[in-house]
Amino acid sequence: MPTRPAASARQRVTVDTGASRYDILIGAGLLADASAWQGLPAAAQALVVTNTTVDPLHGAALRHALAPHYARVGTLALPDGEAHKDWPTLNLVFDRLLADACDRRTVLFALGGGVVGDMTGFAAASYMRGVPFVQVPTTLLAQVDSSVGGKTGINHPAGKNMIGAFYQPRRVVCDLDTLSTLPARELSAGLAEVIKYGPIADAAFLDWIEAHLDDLRARDPAALAHAVRRSCEIKAEVVGADEREGGLRAILNFGHTFGHAIEAGLGYGEWLHGEAVGCGMVMAAELSARLGLMPAAFVGRLARIVERAGLPVRGPRLGAARYLELMRVDKKAESGQIRFVVIEALGRAALRPADDATVARAIEAHCA
């Protein structure tokens, strides 16, 4: 396993899909580091898309950093929350771009968590059929997952992230100092996406997470730096091999099929995305065991790690039939058949179908 870096070290992870190549910069103080913003596409203006929570915390720092590079730097602060990841809110971005007479060289900067990043990326992919954008994630979940890999989009009442595009950023800038402003619940939600990388790709990383969960929840800088870097390394490798989720990339959705059903079933916003994924991973581990792929002890171990991270391990009682109905509106479903990300061996995941009865038992085993 890679050596754990010093908290102050500046790190770089490269994503190479063949069609595009960009860097993920990781370190403390990057918002104010001039080198983090050099070499980006030249333009007359830039637009920072953020939300009403993040803008007062970090908006001024990013605008100051961008001022030497762009004659005009605008800001659009969207309403905060998953409930606003929709068409009306996305149209606010287009309204602003058109009002400012932005051209196809205008650079968008997504400053915030996963919702801001997904929506800004989708707007960038769509406006004038594509303008450059940069991810500046300020949540742990966004730094280790959603800002990397080019998945962009919005939700539909019938399904999460069902409308969108694959569109890669020009750079991802992960300033670890922004994590100090995260509420504890949001930090825990991000840990769900860190935890998933262990079962699907790196058993030694899962051991490390298990040993350092208390450090991560206490926001130890060195622990966070290592967790972000290793998560990004794994995601970069997977995305580089399968940019458009034709096969391998689907393993990054471990726990997400169950988790998305929880989010949609409750109405977006009641549970955080990472909370739903944490619980969904436990259900997916249960399914892996019921399919004979993993021992029951794995389910217990993963549930303990998820719970120690401050995440729920019991899902809402929507009823197994409702879960199955929602899971059939899933990007991994084919001809109505759901394909689940399961663990074949610790550190190796695969896509498998499963009969409804087995899935229902896995769900009911972990519902409140």
- Model pLDDT for residues 199-253, shown as the tens digit of each residue: 999 999 999 999 999 999 999 999 999 999 999 999 999 999 999 888 899 999 9
The pLDDT score that the predictor gives to residue 368 is: 81
Catalytic residue, candidates 63, 151, 331, 366: 151
Catalytic residue, candidates 58, 160, 256, 331: 256
Confidence band (pLDDT; 50, 70, 90) for 313? very high
Q: What is the average per-residue pLDDT within 42-46? A: 96
76 near 49, Cβ under 8 Å? yes
pLDDT at 164 over 50: yes
The pLDDT score that the predictor gives to residue 332 is: 63
pLDDT at 294 over 60: yes
pLDDT at 6 over 90: no
Q: Which residues, 6+ apart, have CB-to-CB distance to 57 below 8 Å?
A: 138, 178, 181
Q: Respond yes or no: is residue 51 known to be catalytic.
A: no
What mean pLDDT value characterizes the chain?
Answer: 94
Confidence band (pLDDT; 50, 70, 90) for 2? very low
Q: Respond yes or no: is residue 129 known to be catalytic.
A: yes
Q: Respond yes or no: is residue 155 known to be catalytic.
A: no
Catalytic residue, candidates 245, 263, 275, 286: 245
Catalytic residue, candidates 51, 155, 161, 253: 253
- Model pLDDT for residues 250-266, shown as the tens digit of each residue: 999 999 999 999 999 99
Q: Respond yes or no: is residue 331 known to be catalytic.
A: no
Burial class from Cβ neighbours inside 10 Å (0-12, 13-18, 19+) for residue 11 reads: middle
Q: Respond yes or no: is residue 253 known to be catalytic.
A: yes
pLDDT at 5 over 60: no
Q: Respond yes or no: is residue 235 known to be catalytic.
A: yes
Catalytic residue, candidates 85, 160, 235, 339: 235
- Model pLDDT for residues 75-130, shown as the tens digit of each residue: 999 999 999 999 999 999 999 999 999 999 999 999 999 999 999 999 999 999 99
The pLDDT score that the predictor gives to residue 3 is: 47
Q: Respond yes or no: is residue 12 known to be catalytic.
A: no
Q: What is the average per-residue pLDDT within 132-161? A: 95
Catalytic residue, candidates 226, 229, 273, 290: 273
Q: Respond yes or no: is residue 249 known to be catalytic.
A: yes
The pLDDT score that the predictor gives to residue 8 is: 55
197 near 230, Cβ under 8 Å? yes
Percent of the chain's residues with pLDDT above 90: 90
Sheet holding 45-51, edge to edge: 11-16, 21-27, 171-175, 133-137, 107-112, 45-51, 72-78
Q: Respond yes or no: is residue 245 known to be catalytic.
A: yes
Q: What is the average per-residue pLDDT within 306-333? A: 91
Q: What is the average per-residue pLDDT within 315-341? A: 86
- Model pLDDT for residues 11-35, shown as the tens digit of each residue: 999 999 999 999 999 999 999 999 9
Cα gap 350→345, rounded to integer Å: 10
Confidence band (pLDDT; 50, 70, 90) for 1? very low
pLDDT at 7 over 50: no
Among 135, 133, 96, 99, which residue's Cα sits nearest to residue 117? 135
pLDDT at 275 over 90: yes
Catalytic residue, candidates 193, 233, 243, 286: 193
The pLDDT score that the predictor gives to residue 334 is: 65
pTM of the model: 0.93
265 near 318, Cβ under 8 Å? yes
Catalytic residue, candidates 196, 212, 260, 339: 260
Cα gap 46→132, rounded to integer Å: 10
Q: Respond yes or no: is residue 69 known to be catalytic.
A: no
